[in-house]
Copies of this chain bind each other. A is one copy, B any other.
Amino acid sequence: MESCSAPRARGEGQAQEPDGRQRGGPRQALTHVPALTELHGIPRAYLAKRLQALSRAGIVQATAGQVGGHALTRPAASVTMLEVVQAIDGAEPAYRCTEIRQRGPLAVPAEQCGRPCAIARAMAEAQEAWYRALGAVSIADLAAGIDSDSDGTAMADVHRWLAASHR
């Protein structure tokens, strides 16, 4: 997820043409995998796999060619952490009900199990609370948080470093 905040920081909130040109704006470099790999000190295969997942989810757009790279498809403020986490880790809830109530000598007939059981309901409510918390934080919020942890220079430093890495 950390590796997703850098492309976000570039051309934040600006829709881009497939060639990376800001729609109605000047051409702007996209963020390249090699640059992000170096910036975050992570294996290229690791980053590429996450970017592919984000691309499949429609969160980032990958463009090929000389101006190829990755960019957000939507404003960073409209992309939630929940979308990113689910794009990368999947949207399967942590708890899976096996309908234990339908087993044994006091088994409840399946036709009477239309509603999840009390345990499954409580686990689902906890999962929803987790979804709500991550759904309330945008990638723009993360970038702001990263800046608030520095003296407000962190994202600008990232922008400069990425721009220099494209020269």
Contacts and interface: CB of A to CB of B under 8 A. Distances in A.
Nearest to A150: B108
B122 A38 contact: no
Interface stretch (A11-19, A25-33, A58-66, A132-140): A132-140
A3 interface: yes
Identical subunits present: 2
Contact of A146 (B38, B118, B141): B118
Contact of A125 (B1, B117, B133): B133
Given A122-B141, A129-B132, 17 more contacts: A2-B119, A38-B104, A39-B104, A40-B103, A40-B104, A41-B100, A41-B103, A41-B107, A117-B146, A117-B149, A118-B144, A122-B142, A123-B134, A126-B130, A127-B130, A128-B133, A129-B130
List the 5 closest A-B pairs by CB distance, nearest first.
A118-B145, A41-B103, A126-B133, A41-B104, A129-B129
